Structure 1
Amino acid sequence: MMLNVDTLIAFITVIDAGSFSAAAERLGQTPSGISRTISRLESQLGMALMTRTTRRLDLTEEGEWLLGRARSILSDLQDVEERLAARLAQPSGLVRVNAATPVLDHLVAPLAADFLDAYPLVRLELVSGETVIDLIEERADMAIRIGPLADSTLNARRLGTSRLRLLASPGYLARHGTPDGMDMLSRHRLLGFTVPTSLNIWPLPQEGGDGLPVQPAIAASSGETLRHLALANAGIVCLADFLTHNDVSSGRLIPILEAVTLPWTQPVWAVFYKQGALAPRIAALVDFLAQRLACGILGE
């Protein structure tokens, strides 16, 4: 048995108005329609809720109890409606974000304080993960991914792109020389990824197709580890600007072979499940990241 909200409203209005006709006028219905509604309610509950005379309505004991409960239920529903409206007006609640550690460190963490200043009712939970996860299973609201997206049930919004460059530290170049052509790379120590091997195809032109496959002298699973290796004079690396633009700006890493480097970029995506409208707290973070990352954080 399921009580109808409209029926409870009719019941409360009859008691507050003092008659079926007065309740009908308030609700824009007919007195006979209101009477049938109350009769159906009593039949559904199997009990009388009020005694009716030509002059007055009196609640039974059961009617008194139901009246209190009905008022409480409608008050709770109104509170829920007001809270939802407030959340739409001002996003609030927890947003769980999943991304690889370098992405969290270089793209999200530097913007977290500004985001919370703009949306003080939102809380962030940043969870690092080096592999693609199931957002629902991991209870993540959104993820940030770098590179092409595999087909999936996820929705995605492109936040921007980040240029790939060949880089080395001043210390490495002072010790081993600066390559002035692609053929010189074979004489240098190259740094690359363990997986996927596609990340070890560098943006340099080749006959029969673009991209130079390289064999790393040192391989690592994380771009952040490769960044630290390059900073420690370990060799030449190919990384995206979002990881290294501060290092390049400060002179800690120096772009090499820029004249022949192809203008390859990696897309940066926010991915999320979406059924209907995106929750305001998640939409606020996606919009904020898209706006701020487009302003140069990606190092383009």
Structure 2
Amino acid sequence: MDWLIFGLPGNENLATQLSEQLQIPCGAATIRHFPDGESYVRILSDVQNKNVLLVMTLDHPDDKLLPLYFFTLAAREQGVRKIGLVAPYLAYMRQDKLFHQGEAVTSGFFAHLLSQLADWIVTIDPHLHRRASMSEIYTVPVTVLHAAHLISKWIKDNVKNALIVGPDSESEQWVKEVAREADVPYIVLEKVRKGDRQVEIKVPDVSRWKDHRPVLVDDIISTARTMAITIQHLIQAGFHKPICVGVHPIFAGNAFEELKAAGAEKIISCDTIPHASNGISVSTLLLPELLSMTRDKK
């Protein structure tokens, strides 16, 4: 069965990489906005009786969801067989509990909507906190890949005498895996969140690690407040300027500049979201899974 791959706006580079690696041609489409802000979607390639891979990372999801919705419905109308969504970053995973009466628990709502658009989804390190698995909220198959190995390799290749620093207890299992594969020690901080941009950090006794280069590792870098405060604590404790590594570089507002100003020596991210900090490609992580899917799914 023929396949086409479409990189929706902002995702063209990753789609091109995957197209070359999978030997699947890129489809052509026009997606833009009218002057009044409404979306215009036109699929130029013939998708009838074909399977389609859509590459769209879902940062800023409110801006991206309608074009994705319109594209998938247009493709269905034109006779597409199956649609696979490659979303390296998957949004609306953190709002997974009712804290106040009347709140929308949007992780479930968003999952319900995406499950109607795609036949299957591939993503990288979604923020599973109170959920044990994606199947709790998604009704289509969701393949979850993990970037720990890529980050470990980057640290091993680029940082001498590293000490991995995790932001909080939730990250310990993930950070421990990165440290194990990189064959370096790690520590985990205590974090108390007091608001969207207010956190309190408690750093354990780190005197025994003074000769190490701290590498702060997190899955999502959003406001970067935790990393910025941690950098200041570590520098005050006599460490070298830390290196910051993240899977998903959201960098809300001026977070990237604030992280540099806090004293980060280097900021590196996976290219799950296009950003100037991208230094770790996820295409090699996606490739084996997509090869299997495009060969097996008819």
Please say which structure displays the higher CA radius of gyration. Answer: 1
Normalising by structure 2, we get a TM-score of 0.30
